[in-house]
Structure 1
Amino acid sequence: MTKAQGTHPGPWLSAGRTAAFGALLVTIGPLSMALYTPALPTLTDVFQTTSAVAKLTLTVYFAGFTVAQLICGPLSDAYGRRPIILGFFSLYLVGSLMAWFAPNIETLLLSRLIQGIGASSGVAVARAIVRDQFSGEAGARIMNLLALMLGIAPAFSPTIGALVLGAFGLQAVFLLMVVYAACILVLTLTVLPETNLYRDAKLIQPRYILSSYWTLLKSFEFLRPSLILGLTIGVIYTMSTILPFVLIDQLGLSPLQFGLGMLLQSGSFFAGALATRFLLIKFTTKVLLNPALFLCGLGGLALFGVTHFGQLSFVGIMIPVGLFAFGAAMAMPALSMQGLDPFPGIAGSASALMGFMQMACGFLGSLVAAVIVPDPVVALGVVMPGMALGALFLHLLPFKKRAMEDEAVTHSGKPPR
């Protein structure tokens, strides 16, 4: 396969602009939850439903987000990054409008599913845009900038969501999502150049999709960092479904207090990304990965101790959560680039499968918390530590690298034959 016909339609984005635009794309996932989580207890009153059904609105969002990534990634390899962003974010806009005007819980569930499908392109395409232009330590620094910016919006989103909820009601929260999606669409049309120079429509054929994913799944170089990252980021997604019911229902915080309190989690993630930015001046991402994952494991152990042996309190819960978030932000750049670097020709598929693993871990974690361990305090003290220690175990467990069977895909960018 050769590069797409013609020259590049615009200048390559600078590192800063790549990180900023990528952050806008990946933020749609946590933003769609962070704005929304303070309203979960309110939702049960507005739609006259139960807390289990309220949690289900997050679960269906996870499901749509998780599965759709496996399609939009190969689509972006085949047709380019821009058209996929435009198509899927238009779908997200439709889902947000449906949620805004939802007359009942059934419509809201459907709208959240559509939102999840539409938002899936954010994670899948953002990392591919970075990989299209950068690799190695340079790419890791961009991923760190992306993580740095990713920490900003979720840090303030619960507070904004709580303020909007208190002032204007539940529907106004979804109106914010409508505005965000519209901004992404306008920026994509006016600012983003097409970065995928290897796009080829053949890559969307089922045999190519399956071959690409099989190449990734049998690769040690992809699978190990992706599973570790999936468990790590999956913890953050899982906590978003548990913490509102622990902090609001169990500890008596108001939605606004909850939103303000969540600044500790997102602020810690931001602080971890900022610290990593300065540490990368002297250290490689590989060197920083060990302490990062140890911090995640320590946070998990501390949360287990607090929920099982200590006095339940806001500070006692949020300090371990903040410790974990700090370590997760440090680990993200190294793990992302370790999984993407060997696969320039199928970067969209690699990014999509990596994102799928993250959301799948978050989905499974939230499902366990909602169904198998319905007590939110017990779930917080078991599910999160288990996932955090699982990531650390995978990192420490020695693996023997297997030879890549399809060098054409991993290094030359050609599709599988």
Structure 2
Amino acid sequence: MSERRVSLLGALFVAIGPISMALYTPAMTQIVEAFGTTEAMVKLTLTLYFAGFAVSQLVAGPLSDALGRRPVTIIFMAIYFAASLAALFAPSIGFLIAARFVQGVGASAGQAIARAVVRDLFTQDQSSRIMNLIGIILAVGPALAPTIGGLVLEVSTWQAIFFLMALLGLTVMAGAVFSLRETVVPDRSRLNLRVLGGSYLYLITNRHFLTTSGVIGGAVGALYTQATFLPFILMDDIGLTPSQFGLSMLVQTGSFFTGSITTRFLMRRFSAYQLVPFGLGFIAIGSLGVSLLLFEEPSFLKVMVPVGFYSFGIALVMPAMLTASLAPFPHIAGAASSLTGFMQMGAGLLMGSIGAALGDPLFAMGLLIPIMGGAAILCYLVYRSNPHLAEPEPRHDMTVGPQSTGRALRAETNRND
């Protein structure tokens, strides 16, 4: 399990979730016509996919702690494959909605387990380099997926989209079967709900985990929040056509991709942790630019230039903060990875829901995105303010318990001495 193999497998596992969401979007209008249903019903196929994906992470990660990374990946990818076939032959919109939910459940393991595998094998800048490569592929895959889906629909029907997803599921399963080696000693005692609850309780009361995951939630969660505002702002307020909107999103994806490539280049000379303040600086600039939408008439540049700055900053922040969020928790890496993923998606879903309740997408984006950027910066400042929390890579393992991060580190040091 070399660094290169883990990078490629991790990217493959992580990409299946967002690709399955993006590949499907061009087919939504066809599905409305095919089933004689409403747009609202078809949108449920996206909403429930997202819900299945977000919530099931909380199960997939801890299961991989208990049963092993490899078997849980294979099981969940088999669920994804079966759900893709069910969607392919769906006789009704209700059946398709249910299949999409199960697809989300199956895809959820990819993100949770990929990060846990990285934590099992690598630390410090090796881990950050892998997280960076995963981020690069994560930017490319969803960016190309709608184009691929559109081209497929030019020569076939919406069912072909789910055929491609089934092939993708088989590809990930093959990667798990033939290339993934087990990276953790399974501990079946963790199947106990009390133990699982204790792991999650420990994480959500651990200052180190909350601050590092808070940085990720505020930074990456903004991407999910923006996705609920930008279509309405760019098409309704600014007047772009759907195809122009699709092309305009390359600003966001391209900025993230450029930031990831820049991060990879800079990591040859600097630690990933040294890049985080600069990334947060770009996020601050993006947040400030977005906040101006509260006071000025929107234009394409006024919206997308700040979005580009924010996305570029995310790429500089992610590798180190993902590594830091998992570093002290090797014995519950699956649970920590799952909860980190849930927090970033949950932050996006929560703020997106608040924005929907506010009613005006322009006002919601101008208000909520800067709040998320400010929260990410605040969490980082708290993370750096404590001598123990400021260590990029805590050097001692921590087990589940009621201690604070600092006390647990000192206790572990005493035991080792």
**1:371-382 correspondence runs (5 A):** 371-382=356-367
How far apart, CA to CA, are the structure 2 residues paired with 1:390 and 1:37? 31
**1:6-405 correspondence runs (5 A):** 13-40=1-28, 44=32, 47-196=35-184, 198-248=185-235, 251=238, 253-306=240-293, 308-313=295-300, 315-369=301-355, 371-397=356-382, 400=386, 402-403=404-405
Structure 1 stretch displaced more, 206-215 or 239-248? 239-248
Q: Is the 8 A contact 2:238 2:298 kept in 1?
A: no
Q: Is the 8 A contact 1:224 1:394 kept in 2?
A: yes
Structure 1 stretch displaced more, 183-192 or 241-250? 241-250
Q: Deviations over 1:392-413 (max 9, x none)?
A: 23223475564456669999xx
Q: Is the 8 A contact 1:162 1:256 kept in 2?
A: no
SS of 1:309's equivalent in the other structure is coil
Q: Is the 8 A contact 2:208 2:405 kept in 1?
A: no
Question: Displacement of 1:306 after TM fit?
Answer: 3.9
Q: Is the 8 A contact 1:342 1:410 kept in 2?
A: no
Q: CA 1:410–1:350 in 2, change beyond 3 Å: closer, same or farther? A: farther
Q: CA 1:311–1:356 in 2, change beyond 3 Å: closer, same or farther? A: closer
Q: Which runs of 5+ in 2 are unaligned?
A: 390-403
Q: Is the 8 A contact 2:293 2:363 kept in 1?
A: no
Question: Displacement of 1:53 after TM fit?
Answer: 4.3
Q: Is the 8 A contact 1:88 1:118 kept in 2?
A: yes
Q: Is the 8 A contact 2:26 2:146 kept in 1?
A: yes
Q: Is the 8 A contact 1:35 1:161 kept in 2?
A: yes
TM value normalised by structure 1 = 0.86
How far apart, CA to CA, are the structure 2 residues paired with 1:322 and 1:102? 39
- Give me the identity figure in percent: 43
How far apart, CA to CA, are the structure 2 residues paired with 1:96 and 1:262? 27
Question: Displacement of 1:231 after TM fit?
Answer: 2.3
Amino acid at match of 1:126: A
Amino acid at match of 1:215: Y
Question: Displacement of 1:133 after TM fit?
Answer: 0.8
Question: Displacement of 1:359 after TM fit?
Answer: 1.7
How far apart, CA to CA, are the structure 2 residues paired with 1:179 and 1:240? 27
Q: Deviations over 1:333-384 (max 9, x none)?
A: 1111111111111111111111111121122233334x41344444443333
Q: Which runs of 5+ in 1 are unaligned?
A: 1-12, 412-417
Question: Displacement of 1:25 after TM fit?
Answer: 0.9
Q: Deviations over 1:288-344 (max 9, x none)?
A: 11111221232233233246513333x443222222111111111111111111111
How far apart, CA to CA, are the structure 2 residues paired with 1:126 and 1:20? 10
SS of 1:67's equivalent in the other structure is helix
Partner of residue 8, structure 1: none
How far apart, CA to CA, are the structure 2 residues paired with 1:230 and 1:377? 22
Q: Is the 8 A contact 1:216 1:350 kept in 2?
A: yes
Q: CA 1:242–1:34 in 2, change beyond 3 Å: closer, same or farther? A: farther
Amino acid at match of 1:149: I
Partner of residue 399, structure 2: none
Q: Deviations over 1:125-153 (max 9, x none)?
A: 00011111101122112211221222221
Question: Displacement of 1:51 after TM fit?
Answer: 4.8
How far apart, CA to CA, are the structure 2 residues paired with 1:48 and 1:243? 28
How far apart, CA to CA, are the structure 1 residues paired with 2:107 and 2:357? 28
Question: Displacement of 1:80 after TM fit?
Answer: 0.8
Question: Displacement of 1:123 after TM fit?
Answer: 0.9
Q: CA 1:243–1:35 in 2, change beyond 3 Å: closer, same or farther? A: farther
Q: CA 1:202–1:363 in 2, change beyond 3 Å: closer, same or farther? A: same
How far apart, CA to CA, are the structure 2 residues paired with 1:308 and 1:171? 45
Question: Displacement of 1:18 after TM fit?
Answer: 0.8
TM value normalised by structure 2 = 0.86
How far apart, CA to CA, are the structure 2 residues paired with 1:359 and 1:31? 16
Amino acid at match of 1:360: G
Amino acid at match of 2:371: G
SS of 2:82's equivalent in the other structure is helix
Question: Displacement of 1:285 after TM fit?
Answer: 2.1
SS of 2:90's equivalent in the other structure is coil
Amino acid at match of 1:311: P
Partner of residue 3, structure 1: none
How far apart, CA to CA, are the structure 2 residues paired with 1:317 and 1:46? 35
Q: Deviations over 1:250-279 (max 9, x none)?
A: 555555444333222222111111101111
SS of 2:109's equivalent in the other structure is helix
Amino acid at match of 1:208: V
Question: Displacement of 1:59 after TM fit?
Answer: 2.5
Question: Displacement of 1:77 after TM fit?
Answer: 0.7
SS of 1:282's equivalent in the other structure is coil
Question: Displacement of 1:243 after TM fit?
Answer: 3.2
Amino acid at match of 1:221: H
Q: CA 1:214–1:404 in 2, change beyond 3 Å: closer, same or farther? A: farther
SS of 2:220's equivalent in the other structure is helix
